[in-house]
Structure 1
Amino acid sequence: MSTRKFYTLYIAIATLPFLMLVFPLFEIGNRATPIVMGLPFSFFWVILWIVITFVALIILYSLDPDNKEEEEDV
């Protein structure tokens, strides 16, 4: 994967969770019911996007072309 494609993918994946947690798009998850794992849905929505962001960043780290170059040099 080229560096330019990687940075474009990184920006898209980093921006999506941010947008899902701010005003206009947060309205999708801004409900008190249903209760999910004992939490109101709005709390679950925030925790879900934090976990999704974490997993996406781990995947991006493994795809990072700069990271692969450093491993090969060692």
Structure 2
Amino acid sequence: MSKKKFTTIYILTVTIPFLLLIFPLYEIANRATPIIMGLPFSFFFIILFILLTFAAILILYKLDPDNALEEGED
């Protein structure tokens, strides 16, 4: 994977959850009625996107072309 493509994917991975957690896009999930795992839907929505972003960044860390070059060197 080229560095430019990796950077584009990384920026999208970080930006999309950020945009979903701020006004006005947060209004999609700003409800208290459905309770999921004991949390109002709005809290569950925030925690879900934090965990998904964390998992995506871990995957991108493993796919990072610069990281692969550093591991291969002796």
- For normalisation by structure 2, the TM-score amounts to 0.97
| Unaligned 5+ runs, structure 2 | none
Alignment length (residue pairs) = 74
Moved over 4 A (4+): none
Does structure 1 residue 4 correspond to structure 2 residue 14? no
Aligned to 2:26: 26
Percent identity (aligned): 64
Structure 1 residue 33: Cα displacement: 1.2
1:66 aligns with 2:44: no
Q: Which sections of structure 1, spanning at least 5 residues, go unmatched?
A: none
**TM-score, normalised via structure 1 length:** 0.97
Give the 3-state SS of the residue equivalent to 1:42 in structure 2. helix
User: RMSD over aligned Cα, in angstroms?
Assistant: 0.6
1:42 aligns with 2:42: yes
